[in-house]
């Protein structure tokens, strides 16, 4: 019996504003699944927390107790003797009552709960209520009992099992929600049920596909038959009264591969529970993919490796960190997830890391990753804090981890369980040990609880203690030559050129900030005059001294802008350049470096952040830089000794046999030197080719560059000076616009060097999109951009600022606003 839909909601305690007290005491219409903020917004009782500086006006919501209630009609069904209330997600500290009787209490956002209501249901009308205690108040009270432990951000999120990001983060607002955030229902039956189904899979060239099925049966008074069918390829049965296990070879099944390594073949699988009388009393249906995953953390002559392999083949990881897709989780549906994960695929990624300050995502998320071939690195939900190991938290974390491992184990995309985010690093390096004074801090979770649960419930999925981690208790956890590394000195204190000071085995976090699209920013920030340091802007900049770091991060790369529009473009461009610089450096270290995971793919609201796609779903210039830097075949010029060398990284299954023309040119196109190279790069390999000294030694560094053009279309460019010292013309291009098959084609032709040509089309129409960005054109070259929009855009808007931008117009402003147009 579905109990979703219309409920009522009222405030029952807390700092409710006086003007809202009558309405909230009486109660308002509410929607389940949902959270109280959405109900208040729907009734027009609060302003939008995302807009302006409203966030701070609404923190009272998180300090208020709320009650959700509804009535429903129930009639006894013949032959149904067991009735359970099933709540898939309660946010967070809740007490449930049915017809005045208390069912129980919850204190974990990450868990599903079942309550026996067999003797409490009554014929006809029933009353169900759920009272939610203020999560903030609860966290503060429990911290006082469990003991104060270090944590990032102001609130003690480490004292409650609620997603950490909801208490505010350096990219997220403080929106402390409450409500029934997942479906709720009554299940009635008279039979046993499948209480757990874990179809674990493996694949190897020698043994092929194997299904290792683990089933848990509840309420069986006598043995039942468990039957499994994998399409028409294989089937088997076993008899059990409680737990059952069977191994089933699936002959002819193809392996599941991450994208760019093979296909994503998924097999419909049915597990049936059959009574002794031959009746099918319960069924589980899902899809499985056959794969084996391993992680090599063994030592070599330099340090400890970190290499993920699927089906015995090493995977060079090109990934992004994932945060929850919204501050309001019930709003995130399959379509939104598909759009966001398609952003990852289109940017040539093959892995998503689900970060530990968020949630265990929905089945839709992992289903889509299965289909798209995106590996999932899954954190347990502990992040940037020390955690008590007292039974109160230990038991909750154990229960949620057990449920999460069991629920997610069927997904072939799930490649790795990670103990937590930066907690081991915090203990080792952030002064925690003195503050803790011997108190527990979470080590037992990372070294005892989680590895034991993964080994018991999903033995085919690797587990690692934390990120970053060096895989030796005697090594600093954030060492670049050991295991996984987070690089945050770049952005926090150092210029992005110092990425080259690191030689990491694997980078699981690194990032650089930039603002969202202008249309996204101005939908919520309306400071007058517009300024990077206006009060509304700073509400949407959560990082400590974030906008000062943005300006400092321009360094010698770009001049400090004077106009607001130029600040926006310069900082977006600098973000894109910084991350591309880092990724190309990391990939140039292959095979020593085995991958990188950028922070971060997405946002949960409109904000200045590290994301590649902003809170409105607009792809920032960074996204286009990621698409290029993560391409299957990368050509880059990297310093080797005192001169640049040509590095090629081939992430395909075929030899990369190519001719490469390397030229030293002036910014106005005159060729000074040239060499032709024939290079063959083996599959999944890299090569480094030294270049002649004359080719890479400039006569005038301010007017010269080196360009390597690969016959297969890739290009690498090397500059001898930063943009403010480079001879860039402000009137270096001509542009035309024509209609083409329902879109508009903008063609730009360079008359001298044009750097990082980009169309910020959202500034012409918020829903407009463009197919490419950050192009560098040599004199005489042309490039076309396809612009799609719900409405035709005035051509002159597409060929002038603020839409058409280049690095040139930051260094050498154009003499005219629109350039030379050919419309």
Q: Does residue 148 share a domain with residue 202?
A: no
Q: What letter would DSSP give residue 254?
A: P
Mean of pLDDT values over 650-673: 97
For 526-585, write each residue's pLDDT tens digit.
Answer: 999 999 999 999 999 999 999 999 999 999 999 999 999 999 999 999 999 999 999 999
Q: Is the pLDDT of residue 421 over 90?
A: yes
Q: Does residue 131 share a domain with residue 63?
A: yes
Q: Is the pLDDT of residue 412 over 60?
A: yes
Q: Given 163, 188, 213, which residue is the final one in a domain?
A: 188
Inside any domain, residue 575: no
For 92-109, write each residue's pLDDT tens digit.
Answer: 999 999 999 999 999 999
Do residues 674 and 659 lie in contact, with contact meaning Cβ atoms separated by under 8 Å? no
Query: 202-206, 219-223, 718-722, 800-804: lowest mean pLDDT where?
Result: 219-223
pLDDT at 628: 98
Q: Does residue 205 share a domain with residue 143?
A: no
* CA angle (548 as vertex; 547, 554 as ends), nearest 5: 95
Q: Does residue 201 share a domain with residue 165?
A: no
Please report which confidence band the pLDDT of residue 819 belongs to, taking 50, 70 and 90 as the band edges.
Answer: very low
What is the CA 757 to chain-centroid distance, rounded? 28
Q: Is the pLDDT of residue 240 over 90?
A: no
Q: Does residue 204 share a domain with residue 146?
A: no
Mean of pLDDT values over 204-233: 94
Q: Does residue 119 share a domain with residue 222?
A: no
Q: Given 700, 725, 750, which residue is the final one in a domain?
A: 725
Please report which confidence band the pLDDT of residue 77 belongs to, taking 50, 70 and 90 as the band edges.
Answer: confident
State how far the alpha carbon of 703 is from the alpha carbons of 477, 725, 730, in Å.
Answer: 44, 9, 15
Query: CATH number of the domain that 112 lies in?
Result: 2.60.120.260
Q: Does residue 172 share a domain with residue 35?
A: yes
Q: Does residue 801 share a domain with residue 773?
A: yes
pTM of the model: 0.96
Is residue 588 classed as helix, strand or coil in its secondary structure?
Answer: helix
Please report which confidence band the pLDDT of residue 503 belongs to, taking 50, 70 and 90 as the band edges.
Answer: very high
pLDDT at 78: 83
Q: Does residue 195 share a domain with residue 184?
A: no
Inside any domain, residue 350: no
For 330-387, write each residue's pLDDT tens digit.
Answer: 999 999 999 999 999 999 999 999 999 999 999 999 999 999 999 999 999 999 999 9
β-pairing, 671-681 vs 656-666, is antiparallel
Q: Given 227, 261, 288, which residue is the final one in a domain?
A: 288
pLDDT at 608: 98
Number of H helices, E strands in the chain: 18, 44
Range of the domain at 643: 633-725
Buried b (16+ CB within 10 A) or exposed e, 686-703: bbeeebeeebbbbeeeeb
Query: CATH number of the domain that 766 lies in?
Result: 2.60.40
Inside any domain, residue 319: no
Q: Is the pLDDT of residue 815 over 70?
A: no
Residues 90, 40: Cα–Cα separation, whole Å: 18
Q: How far apart are the first and last CA of the chain?
A: 62
Query: CATH number of the domain that 672 lies in?
Result: 2.60.40.10
Is residue 631 classed as helix, strand or coil in its secondary structure?
Answer: coil
Inside any domain, residue 69: yes
The number of distinct structural domains making up the chain is 4
Helices of type H across 151-307 = none
Residue 727, number of CB atoms within 10 A of its CB: 17
Average pLDDT over all residues of the chain: 96
State how far the alpha carbon of 285 is from the alpha carbons of 231, 275, 561, 617, in Å.
Answer: 11, 18, 57, 33
For 292-329, write each residue's pLDDT tens digit.
Answer: 999 999 999 999 999 999 999 999 999 999 999 999 99
Do residues 192 and 219 lie in contact, with contact meaning Cβ atoms separated by under 8 Å? yes
**Which residues have C-beta within 8 Å of that of residue 290, sequence separation ≥ 6?**
201, 202, 203, 208, 209, 210, 211, 250, 253, 254, 255, 256, 265, 267, 412
Q: Does residue 258 share a domain with residue 163?
A: no
Inside any domain, residue 673: yes
Main-chain phi, psi angles of 5, to 5 degrees: 110, -135
Q: Does residue 255 share a domain with residue 206?
A: yes
Q: Does residue 117 share a domain with residue 175?
A: yes
Inside any domain, residue 719: yes
Inside any domain, residue 140: yes
């Amino acid at each position: 019996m579905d109990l979703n839909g219309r409920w009522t909601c009222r405030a029952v305690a807390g700092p409710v504003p006086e003007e809202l007290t009558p309405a909230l005491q009486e109660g308002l219409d509410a929607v389940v699944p949902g959270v109280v903020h959405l109900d208040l917004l729907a009734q027009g009782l609060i302003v939008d927390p995302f807009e302006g500086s409203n966030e701070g006006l609404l923190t009272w919501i998180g300090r208020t107790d709320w009650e959700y209630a509804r009535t429903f009609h129930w009639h006894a069904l013949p032959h149904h003797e067991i009735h359970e209330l099933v709540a898939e997600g309660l946010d967070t500290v809740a007490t449930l009552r049915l017809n005045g009787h208390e069912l129980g209490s919850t204190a974990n956002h990450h868990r599903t709960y079942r309550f026996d209501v067999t003797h409490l249901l009554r014929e006809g009308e029933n009353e169900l209520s759920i009272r939610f205690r203020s999560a903030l108040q609860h966290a503060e009270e429990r911290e006082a009992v469990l003991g104060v432990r270090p944590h990032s951000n102001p609130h003690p999120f480490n004292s409650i099992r609620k997603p950490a990001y909801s208490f505010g983060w350096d990219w997220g607002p403080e929106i402390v929600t409450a409500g029934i955030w997942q479906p709720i229902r009554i299940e009635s039956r008279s039979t046993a049920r499948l209480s757990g189904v874990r179809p674990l899979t493996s694949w190897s060239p020698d043994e092929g596909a194997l299904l290792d099925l683990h089933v848990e049966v509840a309420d069986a008074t006598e043995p039942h038959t468990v039957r499994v069918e994998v399409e028409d390829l294989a089937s088997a049965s076993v008899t059990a009264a409680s737990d059952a296990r069977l191994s089933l070879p699936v002959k002819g099944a193809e392996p599941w591969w991450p994208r760019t390594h093979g296909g994503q073949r998924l097999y419909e699988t049915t597990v049936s529970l059959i009574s002794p009388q031959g009746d099918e009393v319960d069924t589980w249906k899902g899809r499985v993919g056959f794969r084996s995953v391993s992680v090599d953390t063994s030592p070599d002559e330099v340090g400890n490796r970190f290499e993920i392999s699927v089906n015995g083949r090493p995977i060079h990881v090109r990934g992004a960190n994932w945060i929850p897709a919204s501050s309001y989780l019930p709003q995130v549906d399959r379509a939104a997830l598909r759009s966001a994960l398609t952003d990852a695929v289109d940017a040539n990624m093959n892995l998503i890391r689900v970060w530990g300050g968020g949630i265990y995502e929905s089945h839709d998320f992992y289903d889509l990753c299965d289909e798209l071939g995106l590996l999932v690195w899954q954190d347990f939900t502990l992040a940037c804090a020390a955690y008590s190991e007292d039974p109160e938290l230990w038991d909750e974390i154990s229960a949620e981890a057990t449920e999460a491992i069991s629920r997610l184990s069927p997904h072939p995309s799930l490649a790795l369980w990670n103990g937590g985010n930066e907690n081991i690093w915090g203990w080792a390096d952030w002064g925690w040990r003195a503050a803790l004074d011997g108190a527990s801090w979470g080590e037992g979770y990372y070294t005892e609880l989680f590895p034991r649960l993964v080994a018991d419930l999903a033995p085919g999925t690797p587990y690692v203690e934390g990120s970053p981690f060096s895989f030796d208790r005697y090594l600093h956890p954030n060492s670049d030559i050991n295991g996984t590394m987070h690089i945050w000195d770049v952005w926090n204190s150092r210029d992005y050129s110092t990425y080259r000071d690191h030689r990491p085995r694997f980078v699981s976090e690194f990032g650089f900030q930039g603002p969202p699209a202008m249309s996204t920013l101005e939908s919520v920030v309306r400071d007058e005059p517009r300024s990077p340091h206006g009060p509304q802007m700073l509400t949407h900049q959560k990082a400590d001294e974030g906008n000062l770091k943005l300006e400092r991060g321009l360094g010698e790369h770009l001049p400090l802008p004077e106009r607001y529009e130029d600040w926006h473009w310069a900082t977006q461009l600098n973000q894109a350049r910084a991350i591309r610089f880092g990724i190309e450096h990391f990939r140039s270290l292959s095979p020593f470096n085995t991958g990188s995971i950028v922070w971060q793919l997405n946002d949960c609201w409109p904000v200045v952040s590290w994301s590649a796609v902003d809170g409105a779903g607009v792809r920032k210039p960074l996204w286009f830089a990621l698409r290029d830097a993560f391409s299957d075949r990368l050509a880059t010029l990297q310093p080797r000794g005192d001169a640049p060398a040509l590095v090629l990284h081939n992430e395909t299954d075929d030899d990369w046999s190519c001719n490469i023309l390397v030229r030293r040119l002036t910014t106005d196109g005159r060729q000074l030197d040239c060499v032709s190279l024939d290079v063959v790069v083996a599959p999944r390999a890299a090569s480094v080719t030294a270049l002649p000294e004359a080719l890479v030694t400039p006569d005038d560094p301010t007017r010269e560059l080196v360009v390597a053009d690969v016959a297969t279309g890739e290009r690498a460019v090397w500059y001898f000076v930063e943009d403010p010292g480079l001879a860039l013309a402000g009137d270096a291009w001509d542009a035309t616009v024509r209609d083409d098959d329902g879109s508009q084609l903008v063609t730009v032709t360079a008359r001298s060097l044009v750097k990082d040509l980009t169309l910020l089309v959202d500034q012409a129409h918020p829903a407009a999109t463009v197919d490419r960005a950050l192009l560098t054109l040599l004199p005489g070259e042309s490039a076309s951009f396809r612009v799609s929009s719900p409405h035709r855009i005035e051509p002159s808007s597409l060929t002038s600022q603020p839409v058409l931008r280049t690095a040139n117009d930051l260094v050498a402003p154009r003499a005219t606003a629109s350039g030379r147009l050919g419309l």
